[in-house]
Amino acid sequence: MAKVKDIISDRKKTFFSIEITPPDRGKSIEEIYDAIENLIPYEPQFINVTNHQPFAEYIEEGSLIRRVRRSKKPGTIAVCAALQNRYKVDTVPHIICGGYDKYETEDALIDLNYLGINNVFAVRGDPVPGSKKFISEPEGHLYASDLVAQISEMNGGKYQDSQDYDVKTDFCIGVAGYPEKHYEALNLERDLQNLKNKVDKGADYVITQMCFDIEAMKNFVAKAGEIGITVPIIAGIKPVTSMAQIEMIPRAFNVNIPMELINSIESAKTKKEEFANGIKFMEKYVGQLLDLGLPGIHVFTMGKGAPAKALLSSLFGGGR
């Protein structure tokens, strides 16, 4: 299968990829198939599959208290393998710092290498539910840049218990960028330095957090170039098609919603009109992003395919 950096450099048409989350524990992978089935005709170049930090529960058993790790959405690697096999599309599993030590990370990367999945997306991950501060595992990584460094070292044949005969992996590494800065960063300049650190340690490309403000994106791309970030930057977007999303997204993702989009959704008389107005705004916004010279767009589907399909239909017609 192809590496994302090669997909970008070899592209001959507008670049498009999607992101999904694994099913909740106990749910069927069929819900993932249902969400993306109507998107496959538009030929996504790759599919990102998110990863979610396990959390600890403490269970009292007689006089003992036992610590049990739980994961609400397991199966990232398996979902990637299933999608790649079913649709013959490259998949990109998220590898996260949260909840994993260096050895568990290495084990996951070895599994991916055996499966022939040579793309990964390295992110720190969010704090566990109920906590405001991210805490790494005792033998884990506190920063995504250190995770990138570990993956790069494996590409050079260096493992945690290194042997002279260690096989080199060949992972293409993506990382996250934040046009409006990460919510924990002091300012955009410091956040961009953090991004450059990830690139310097081996990242091959950047996918941005969702952003709806073309001026913020333009500023981010310009400042990234000024400090020497030369890898491709892919714009992350989320089709917004309802007032409920307008109200939820800023709180959940710490991003700004421009007044043009707010007014467009607020002016709608029906849910159907809300949906149509949101898609119309996003179509215009994607055109502005591509005018910046970005290689393409990455659509966060949140497990729902209808808004993404409507946007892609408006951009590309009935499929490629």
**Tens-digit pLDDT profile for residues 172-204:** 999 999 999 999 999 999 999 999 999 999 999
Confidence of residue 161 (pLDDT cuts 50, 70, 90): confident
Residue 173 lies in a domain: yes
Q: Enter the DSSP assignment of 41.
A: G
Distance CA 82, CA 79 (A): 5
For range 303-313, the mean pLDDT: 87
Residue 132 inside a domain? The answer is yes
In a domain, residue 275? The reply is no
Residue 132: which pLDDT band, with cuts at 50, 70 and 90?
Answer: confident
Residue 301 lies in a domain: no
Q: What is the pLDDT of residue 71?
A: 77
Domain of 124?
Answer: 4-237
Task: Look at residue 82 and tell me if it is in a domain.
Answer: yes
204 lies in some domain: yes
Q: How many domains does the chain have?
A: 1
- Report how far residue 309's alpha carbon sits from residue 22's, in angstroms, rounded to the nearest whole number: 19
309 within some domain: no
* pLDDT at residue 211 is higher than 90: yes
CATH assignment at residue 31: 3.20.20.220
